[in-house]
Every structure is written in C-alpha cells, then in structure tokens.
Structure 1
Amino acid sequence: MDKEELIKFEEEIAELFNGGNIFAPVHLYNGNEDQIINVFKKVRSQDWVFCSWRSHYQCLLKGVPPDEIKSEILAGRSISLCFPEYRIYSSALVGGALPIAVGTAMAEKRKKEESNVYCFMGDMTSETGIAHECIKYSCNHQLPIHFIIEDNSKSVCTDTRGTWNCNTLSHESKSDPM
C-alpha cells in the first residue's frame, strides 16, 4: 500500500466520522506516511505489530484488508483494532500494548521463532514509566523487539514538551541509555 492509498483511506474515515456514521472516537494519522511506510519495509508477515489507538496505517500496511478495518471502525472499534490472524494488536490505553509486546517478544525468543515484534508508541507514551521499564527489560533480555516512537509533539491536543517542561524528550537525549 502506498502513501496515496493510506491518505485516501483516512480521508474516507474522516468523511464517515464527520457525516455522523461513526459514533466512537477516531484518531487519524494526518502525516508521517513516509516514515511508517519506511518502517514497514522491514516488517514481515510472521512479525508482530503492537500499537496504540492510532493504528489504521499499521493495520493497512500489515496487510489487513481495508474493508475489514473499515467495518471495525464503523462498529466503534477504531481505537482498539485487533487482527490476530495478521499478528496485529492495538490498545486504547496509554502504553497498554507495550508490556504485551514485550511478553510476545519473550515468548518468540523462548520458542526460537524467527519473528520480530514492532511496538509503536507516541512521544507522550515514551515518557511514561511503563515505556522505560519495557524498553529496559527488552534490552537487558535481548528480546527481538523494536520500539518505534511516533513523535507528533502532541498528546492528543497537549504539547508534549510543554507538559514535561523540557525541550528534549527521553528518546531524543544522547545520554539516555535506552
């Protein structure tokens, strides 16, 4: 799926939402298409993907048919899309998918599987304790997991750096061991 197809899908969802056809929260991408497409060049069918409430692009790029995704969104599940048959899971809870992703990576390592885990989180989530704990645990146990921080400088509508009263977030710091 290319950038134009991703954008078109999100525009259709926005139209449905604005037209009153979706009665639950929807979080749209509105940018970052090039970056996520680049990440997904490495994601294989046997790999797991975990993400937050903004997961339409991940589902599409993982190979879930657009009609299946749209059906779930229309049923009010936009922020908790899960398609286990495609090895993709999302959570509406801040950082909710992270420990599950770490557990999956541990299981894959113990089973000696050839799969990787890709765990997406927002910049605000990357500042939470659960993120630091999951990243540190994964590093210490050399788990087959990649953490991808999607930095849009916002936590829904709040400026991330303003919230933390800092110019640099943990994932931007050169001195941070993670």
Structure 2
Amino acid sequence: MTDAIAYPKPNLLTKEDLIAFEEEIANLFNLAKIRAPIHLYYGNEEQIIKIFQKIRPQDWVFCSWRSHYQCLLKGVPREQLRQEILDGRSISLCFPEYRIFSSAIVGGVLPISVGTAMSIKMRGEQSKVYCFMGEMTAETGIAYESIKYSRNHKLPIHFIVEDNEKSVCTDTREVWNQPRLSFEEFENQEDEYITYYRYETKYPHAGAGIRVEF
C-alpha cells in the first residue's frame, strides 16, 4: 500500500454508458450466457457518478454483490469486466490493481474496509476508503459497529448506503417493522462518514426479470 504506484485513473462515464453496460449484461443473462447469479443496477446513475467524482486513483472501493457500476467508474476496462461477469464472477468482482473489491457475503467487506482505513491512517498515506452497502446490510450490527469505530477513531473512510427497497425477496422496512430506516436521516445531508440515497430500479433483486434454465 504505497502511494508511489501510478494506479489507473477512474473512468469518466456518463449515465448512458452505465445503463448500456447493464442492459448488455441483462440481455446476456436472459440468453443463458452467464451461468451464475447477477445483481444489476438501474436508476442510481446520477448519484453514483457524483460520488465517484470525489474518488481518486489511490483510493480504495469496497462493494457488495452489486458492483458493476463501481468497477466501471473505478477504471476497470469494460471488456475486462464483461469477461469476468461472463466467467461467473459478477457477485465477487475483485480487481486489486484498481483497488476495488466486492463480496457476496452480507456485510463481508465492512470490517475489511475499516481495517484498510486503519492501515492508511497508521502509515500516513494520502488515500481514503469508500464502502458501499445496501439498506438491509446497513441495518445489521456489523454496519453500526464499523461506522461507530470509524467515527470514534477518525479513520479515512466513507460509507455509502444505497436504498432500493429490495433485499432478496423481502422488503427491508417490513422485515424490521420500521417504516423509516436508521440512515434515512442522512438523505440530502453532507456528512463526513455517511452518504445515503434512495433509488428505484427496474430490475429484481437478482437476475434480469426472466426465469432462465441452463
């Protein structure tokens, strides 16, 4: 972890670029060309592009199983990402050379992102960590502990909570009998450690809307 390395620069992509990529992946999945789960974005392009305007080449990005947009915006070449997805790694995309990692484990990247931020602070490096999570993950204990620890120890990390009101086949608010989620108070607020936004997607939690048999 040295800042002397010339890390690839993030891609300058438009809303249309992102949507076109996900639509291509959706079509490939529906044609049974991807023999593994996929989780697609749609409807949050403007929000995520705004976040990535702050992310530099030396910064770290950690994501969950829905991470196509983050990989593209962090600088991973489109064709390289496409091939990884075709090879069945959509839910666990990791590109160390671009400092971006994802995990299919709920909350799996949270403690890793905090540990990375701790290392950055201890080494005095000029980089930062950005950790993405869904609204259901944000309601777990590991999320609260990670954010609390980061705030109290003033770590160089920022958490992004993305709320699409979908958590597998359940509604997050119904599960917890909680009409208003804990992090909604950060919507449209500037906070050093948390960004929260809601978006509506046309895709189901997993897949692309067509039942595929292999």
Higher RCO structure (Cα 8 Å, ≥6 apart): 2
TM-score by length of 2: 0.80
Shift of 1:145: 0.2
Structure 1 spans left out of the alignment, 5+ residues: none
Query: 42, 50, 53: which is aligned to 1:41?
Result: 53
Alignment partner of 1:123 out of 135, 155, 160: 135
Matched with 1:17 is 29
- The counterpart of 2:152, out of the listed 132, 140, 147, is 140
Q: Secondary structure at the match of 1:157?
A: coil
Q: Find the counterpart in structure 2 of residue 52 from structure 1.
A: 64
**Offset of residue 156 of structure 1:** 2.4
TM-score (norm 1): 0.96
Task: Tell me the equivalent position of 2:85.
Answer: 73
Measure how far apart 1:173 and its partner are. Answer: 4.3
Residue of structure 2 in register with 1:4 after alignment: 16
Select the residue among 89, 96, 101 that pairs with 1:84. Answer: 96
Structure 1 residues 51-104: Cα deviation after superposition (integer angstroms, max 9, x where no partner): 000000000000100111111101100000000000000000011010000000
Aligned residue pair count? 175
What SS does structure 2 have at the residue aligned with 1:124?
helix
Q: What one-letter code is carried by the residue in structure 2 that aligns with 1:109?
A: K
Q: Provide the secondary structure at the position in 1 that maps to 2:97.
A: helix
List gaps (5 residues or longer) in structure 2: 1-12, 187-193, 195-214
Counterpart position of 1:158: 170
For 1:96 and 1:69, locate their aligned partners in 2 and report how far apart those are by CA, in whole Å.
Answer: 21
Equivalent position SS for 1:106? helix
2:44 and 2:175 map into 1 onto residues whose CA distance is 22
Residues in 2 aligned to 1:56 and 1:49: alpha-carbon distance in whole angstroms: 12
Equivalent residue letter for 2:133:
M
Q: Displacement of 1:167 after TM fit?
A: 1.0
- Larger proportion of helix: 1
Report the identity percentage: 70
State the 1:168 CA deviation: 1.1
| C-alpha distance after superposition, 1:103-135 (max 9, x if no partner) | 000001111011010000000000000000100
1:32 is aligned, of 44, 47, 58, to: 44
RMSD, aligned CA: 1.1
Q: Alignment partner of 1:155: what SS?
A: coil
How far apart, CA to CA, are the structure 2 residues paired with 1:165 and 1:59?
Answer: 34
